[in-house]
Amino acid sequence: MSKNEVCVTGGSGFIGSWLVRLLLDRGYTVHATVQNLNDEKETKHLEALEGAETNLRLFQIDLLNYDSLLAAIHGSVGVFHVASPCIVDRVHDPQKQLLDPAIKGTVNVLKAAKESGVKRVVVTSSISAITPSPNWPSDVAKREDCWTDVEYCKQNELWYPLSKTMAEKMAWDFAKDTGLDVVVINPGTVMGPIIPPAVNASMLMLIRLLEGCTEEYKDFYMGPIHVRDVALAHILLYENPSAAGRHICVEAIRHFSDFAAKVAELYPEYKVPRFPKDTQPGLLRAEDGSKKLIDLGFQFTSLEKIIKDSMESLKSKGYIS
């Protein structure tokens, strides 16, 4: 077991690919998990990363198959649990599509980490485990002590926030019961340069906005974050012994209207809709929304650069013209 050997679940995804890339850049040996080793859309972009030939091993896993996770994690001293289904619409069977893989999958990963003698696990949660939280005081910025309202999610069939909230709560219960060192990151709307061949849900939101979609994302939005920042923050939380608890990871807490207005300002050639100024009633804006990460010395990419890097990537890959 090398002190530089780590496992990244969901290694082929938008966040996972960036995390694998930056870990390889730092000399880590990485076990990256994929759903299908025979699918080039999951493997080819990872195998093309610098350092992959010598320091990357790919493992095929199923989050509900404990043995497959144990095989992937074995030999690692650290785990980044990124894998979790991200389906905001078209949910036909929430238990099967979202809840079981997120909740049971997280427990399986943590059990395998514990059995393998892993020193620290960084769990990728989401701001969807912080909002929607309709009972939070509207004059107080949402911080790490704010939790998504589970009953509200059930009543409104908001299955993705429910899956992320329940999975994170389960992770904290497991850590408390077993003593496993767990630290959590709660990213906002993750955007920026795309490494995998497929576009993720957050970048699809930007495409829809450019096409004139007027959906306001009231229950899902707290602000954008550059994908490279998310990956770097994962590594910071893994490497910094003083990091503990949950960590909101957004450039700033903003309303969706703030984001849309900036996109319209930077790219007036697109028909970006105008939104009411307060698209998220009860969400207090905050420039230091990620205060815990800032206090650890983290510096965030600006909103303008997040948008520009995202647009350049979408154009280069042919998603927009």
Cα distances (angstroms) measured from residue 80 to each of 17, 132, 301:
12, 25, 22
The H-assigned helical ranges of 57-178 are: 66-73, 94, 105-115, 150-155, 159-178
Q: Which two tokens stand for residue 249?
A: 């990871």
- Residues acting as catalytic residues: 164
Residue 253's DSSP bridge partners are 286
In the chain, how many H helices and how many E strands? Answer: 13, 9
Q: What are phi and psi of 215, to 5 degrees?
A: -65, 135
Pairwise CA distance, residues 167 & 163, whole Å: 6
Q: What are phi and psi of 79, to 5 degrees?
A: -130, 135
Radius of gyration of the chain from its Cα atoms, rounded to whole angstroms: 19
Compute CA 299 distance to the chain's CA centroid, rounded to the nearest angstrom. Answer: 18
Q: Which residues fall within 8 angstroms of residue 95, CB to CB, at 6 or more apart?
A: none
Pairwise CA distance, residues 66 & 182, whole Å: 19
Contact in structure between 120 and 181 (CB atoms under 8 Å): yes
CA atoms within 13 A on the CB side of 7: 31
